[in-house]
A and B are shown apart, each in its own frame.
Chain A
Amino acid sequence: MKVTVNDVEVDLAPGTSAIDAVFAAGYDVPYFCSQEYMSPVGACRMCLAKVGAPRKDRDGNWILDDETGERTIFAFPALLATCTSALSEGMVIDTLSEEVKHAQNGMIEFTLINHPLDCPVCDKGGACELQDRSYEYGSGRSRFEFTKRHQEKHHPLSDLITLDRERCIHCKRCVRYFEEVPGDEVLDFIDRGGHTYIGTVEHGLPSNFTGNITDICPVGALLDATSRFRGRNWEYDHTASVSLDDASGSAVVVDARTGRIERIKAGLHPEVNKSWIDDGIRFGHEYTADPERITRPLLRKDGELVEVPWPEAAAFVAERLKEFSGKDVGVCIRADATLEEGVAALALAEHLGTGQVDHAPRYGPTVMPPAQATLQELAVSDAIFVVGDVSEEVPAVDLRIKDALRGVTPPPLLPHGVPIADLRLKERMPRKREILCVAAPYRVDLMRHAGTVARYDVGGEETLFRGLIAIAEGGSADERVLGMTLAAAKAFVDRLRAAKKAVIVTGGFVLSSQAAADAAERFARAVGARQLVLGPMANAYGLEAIGVLPSHARYDYASMVAGGAKALLISNLDPAADPAVAERLAESRLLVVHDMFMTATARLAHVVLPAKSGFEKDGTVVNLEGRFMPVRAAPVDAGEAVDVTGLVRELGLAFGVRIEGRSVRSARRSLRKTLGTDLEELTGLGAFVALPRRRVAVSVAARPGVRGRALRVPTMVRQEYLLRNPHLLATLGGPALRLHPDDARTRALSHDDEVTVRVDGVPRRLRVYVTDAMPSGVVSVPALPDAPAGPADVDLDGIVVERRRLEVA
């Protein structure tokens, strides 16, 4: 469809909005309320342009100008809001004439009438759409000489978001966002006219995706509380990277100033997270600036850990390692280490001559399903079966499922990027709930959006899938096992089979049992669905793919710490949180811990080496769809902290050998040989790289049998750092022991009590969270890297109440 914008002719698909035509033609109109990936509503009236179009007469012929013989352009009687106008053939859009300029100028003046103009103290200043647009399109003078509207300037919408009601220009982006994107309607306009303000009914914003409104608010009305007054926008170093918080590979922008991370914003990745990130990613960065962070190597001298220079620490480790035969040494890194770190760990293990090398948390079953779905496929899927709690495990997946429910395919990119106003999107669109079935052992958030809901028993994933396979094969299954009626199960299995793009999403609950994972794979094959497996951490996929795995099941991480390794190098893991393991580790002859903080394991170590956080390293991770994505280091002052490649470099220097993987570049050289791809060349969007081989399944050591009905559940926030993230901690109140009101009553526990309880033998301090989302008799505790999601043993009889909730007088 050809249209003319000023003097440029562009050819765009029918249905494109006029505002996108203007941008596609390389021109600009100011706008405040339109937003990528959200419905255009025409609220701000800023995007005005003079629009005309040719018309057809009754016979369907274009009306032509008598003199020139060209099509006559009939101008619309008034200026149009281009964001809500669809293109028509031959449309002529004018954004430059005096009339348009005058109107835009007038709109700016109206918008600024009640705006406080306190840009110098506003955290949005310097990156504010209103500031920029006023500068570009405003007259620079104000004729408004009266008192402006005064409203609350510091309203904590939640512990994470501060609202300045004076600055709001009522664009409705935030209100629309909650309804359209996560589907949690927690914010709305209150009052009318000039008094309109944004507010919530309850305290706080009960959603996992609240922070995104701080990105999309065109002014400084909604602001990230973690970075309040921390710096001005032009002072931040912006690093486009990938979040290592979960397996989604969400694009983020890390804003740092003077060596400190001040805030995280969502990056744009049209095929992964679009422009949204969850609150765990956005607000979970404060731990990197924790004063207790280890920034220099520590060496045990006379029983005390004392700071030493790197060469001394490395020489000590190298010297002591000589005492061990290679195979007695164990090396384990955490599953959010980069591929490069994986290469370094493998090379170190090879140098030492040990097969005891692993990454953790790792489940026995593979996270690389044979029929891999992508997030883009998930977003256009016509039947989705979810087992587990994706909204907590990998929240980005939750949002892509909601895309599928809206039934609008991801928009094609235009010359200027994502369409600014996608006219197919509407407010309060009907959702195709029927295409979604969510199964979990307790009530999960996504169930609110699902047409079919199944609540199976704790640990019942295998039988659930077996039942579904039986149904798929024309048989029948027990309704108790299915957690839903047989009819519902049958109907959904039929839907999955009939669907062209069915996707089955499974997470830690399924991965924690080999039989369940096998059954899920069989079921996916039976109904012809693709699979998306949510790995336990950011790079579980990649580390498995390049084989950071023990040479034998006997050599896995659990066995290493259980005494299989006489000398241990552990990166970012804390096995000694378990007192039984701690006892054994205390006797180990060499324990080298690479970590950011003094964990229980670090306290036992002979050498503690400072580790970089996920924001501070360069490298590559592979997300849950198998996409290789570049992680970039933000300029953070982490003292002498290194990642695993740096660790291997220092040890190599002490050994006097050049170990492969001694730097990111060296690791990439080695990866180029195995992958056939130069990771140096990865762009921010990442790429799918054909993997040379599938993993040979290496199971993990059997865990002790599980009594009781308890679960370790995935959480959106990283529990290992929760206590060092003050804002998130204030919001969540602490790691939660969730249980049903009946159970709370029988055990005389009340909401917000602080308790200590043994989870798989590990004492953990938790906060009681009473909720009917848990079935009676089932309790859940948050998973940790050393204790990933799955069935657990929670010793409720031995629970100790540390502090009662303060009784309201």
Chain B
Amino acid sequence: MSVLDIAKGMGVTLGHLFKKPVTVQYPEQRAQVAARFRGRHHLLRHPDTGLEKCIGCSLCAAACPAYAIYVEAAENDPADPVSAGERYASIYEINMLRCIFCGFCEEACPTGAVVLGHEFELADFRYQDFVYGKDDMMVGVTGSRWQRREAESKGKDVRLGLESSHRAELEGVDD
């Protein structure tokens, strides 16, 4: 090893000293999330009728490698349907502690009802608070349970620590 080699190495180090740092001052500064980032799930509705897309078929649960999803179905009241068709999910739960955010559920869903969004700030305190139900994931709900609790107690809107570009398939989810 010659002195020249050492100088070269030092040169690289010195060069970085003058570059703009990539560190993000999260959470003060929002994290930039890539369009196809896989975060917390959203349950979608048909944009025209407002009916839930989910038909309670449990195929997402079958596809899930982490056994994170639990679905229980029931029959729609034709006079006041929850979803299009005969069947809807009366219980739809995802255990966010088990979920590995692989997106297999989204891939398995025959109706495009469950999609992985961009939210990733899911930290919470108690085990049961990680089991997200329909109320936590239905389209239009912003933020994790904890964020929503926090926002409610402060009487403010949920502040997400992320920014992302629009993703077309998340109809009505982003923005």
B59, A153: Cβ atoms under 8 Å?
no
A121, B62: Cβ atoms under 8 Å?
no
Interface check B81, CB cutoff 8 A: no
Find chain A residues with CB under 8 A from B74 CB. Answer: 229
Find chain B residues with CB under 8 A from A153 CB. Answer: 86
A–B Cβ pairs within 8 angstroms, 5 of them: A118-B85, A120-B59, A121-B56, A232-B58, A234-B62
Interface check A235, CB cutoff 8 A: yes
B57, A120: Cβ atoms under 8 Å?
yes
Find chain A residues with CB under 8 A from B55 CB. Answer: 120-121
B86, A232: Cβ atoms under 8 Å?
no
A: which residues have CB within 8 A of B? 118, 120-121, 125, 153-154, 228-232, 234-235, 258
Complex Cα distance, B85 from A120, in Å, reads 11
A229 and B56 contact, Cβ closer than 8 Å, known pairs A120-B110, A121-B85? yes
Find chain B residues with CB under 8 A from A120 CB. Answer: 55, 57, 59, 110-111
Find chain A residues with CB under 8 A from B58 CB. Answer: 231-232, 235
**Quick one: which of B68-98 are within 8 Å of A by CB?**
70, 72-75, 85-87
A230 → chain B closest CB, angstroms: 8
A229 and B73 contact, Cβ closer than 8 Å, known pairs A121-B85, A154-B86? yes
**Cβ proximity bits B44-62 to A, threshold 8 Å, 1 near / 0 not:** 0000000000011111011
Find chain A residues with CB under 8 A from B59 CB. Answer: 120
Who on chain A is nearest to B78 by CB? A154
B66 → chain A closest CB, angstroms: 16
Complex Cα distance, B62 from A234, in Å, reads 8
Complex Cα distance, B86 from A228, in Å, reads 11
Find chain B residues with CB under 8 A from A118 CB. Answer: 85
Who on chain A is nearest to B109 by CB? A120
B: which residues have CB within 8 A of A? 55-59, 61-62, 70, 72-75, 85-87, 110-111
Complex Cα distance, B57 from A118, in Å, reads 10
B10 → chain A closest CB, angstroms: 62
B40 → chain A closest CB, angstroms: 24
Complex Cα distance, B73 from A228, in Å, reads 9
Complex Cα distance, B55 from A232, in Å, reads 13
Find chain B residues with CB under 8 A from A234 CB. Answer: 62
Who on chain A is nearest to B108 by CB? A120
Complex Cα distance, B56 from A154, in Å, reads 17
Q: Which 3 A-B pairs have the closest CB atoms?
A: A120-B57, A229-B73, A121-B87
Find chain B residues with CB under 8 A from A229 CB. Answer: 56, 73-75, 86-87
Find chain B residues with CB under 8 A from A230 CB. Answer: 72-73
Complex Cα distance, B55 from A234, in Å, reads 17
Chain B CB within 10 Å, residue with most, of A125, A229, A235: A229
Who on chain B is nearest to A228 by CB? B75
Find chain B residues with CB under 8 A from A232 CB. Answer: 57-58, 62
Complex Cα distance, B61 from A154, in Å, reads 26
Who on chain A is nearest to B75 by CB? A229
Find chain A residues with CB under 8 A from B110 CB. Answer: 120
Complex Cα distance, B111 from A153, in Å, reads 20
Who on chain A is nearest to B61 by CB? A235
Who on chain A is nearest to B70 by CB? A258
Find chain B residues with CB under 8 A from A121 CB. Answer: 55-57, 85-87
Complex Cα distance, B71 from A232, in Å, reads 10
B62 → chain A closest CB, angstroms: 6
Find chain A residues with CB under 8 A from B56 CB. Answer: 121, 229
Find chain B residues with CB under 8 A from A154 CB. Answer: 86
A145 → chain B closest CB, angstroms: 20
Complex Cα distance, B38 from A788, in Å, reads 64
Given A232-B62, A235-B62, 10 more A-B residue pairs with CB atoms under 8 Å apart are A118-B85, A120-B55, A120-B57, A120-B59, A120-B111, A121-B57, A121-B85, A229-B75, A230-B72, A231-B72
B175 → chain A closest CB, angstroms: 30
Complex Cα distance, B72 from A121, in Å, reads 12
Find chain B residues with CB under 8 A from A125 CB. Answer: 57
A116 → chain B closest CB, angstroms: 11
Complex Cα distance, B57 from A485, in Å, reads 62
Find chain A residues with CB under 8 A from B57 CB. Answer: 120-121, 125, 232
A403 → chain B closest CB, angstroms: 38
B147 → chain A closest CB, angstroms: 30
Complex Cα distance, B44 from A340, in Å, reads 53
Who on chain A is nearest to B110 by CB? A120
Who on chain B is nearest to A232 by CB? B58
Who on chain A is nearest to B90 by CB? A229
A287 → chain B closest CB, angstroms: 20
Find chain A residues with CB under 8 A from B61 CB. Answer: 235
A305 → chain B closest CB, angstroms: 31
A590 → chain B closest CB, angstroms: 42
Complex Cα distance, B95 from A410, in Å, reads 52
B65 → chain A closest CB, angstroms: 15
A112 → chain B closest CB, angstroms: 17
A33 → chain B closest CB, angstroms: 27
B83 → chain A closest CB, angstroms: 10
Complex Cα distance, B76 from A154, in Å, reads 12
Complex Cα distance, B57 from A357, in Å, reads 51
Complex Cα distance, B59 from A258, in Å, reads 17
Complex Cα distance, B56 from A125, in Å, reads 13
Complex Cα distance, B62 from A232, in Å, reads 9
Find chain A residues with CB under 8 A from B86 CB. Answer: 121, 153-154, 229
Find chain A residues with CB under 8 A from B87 CB. Answer: 121, 229
Who on chain B is nearest to A154 by CB? B86
Find chain B residues with CB under 8 A from A228 CB. Answer: 75
A166 → chain B closest CB, angstroms: 12
Find chain A residues with CB under 8 A from B70 CB. Answer: 258
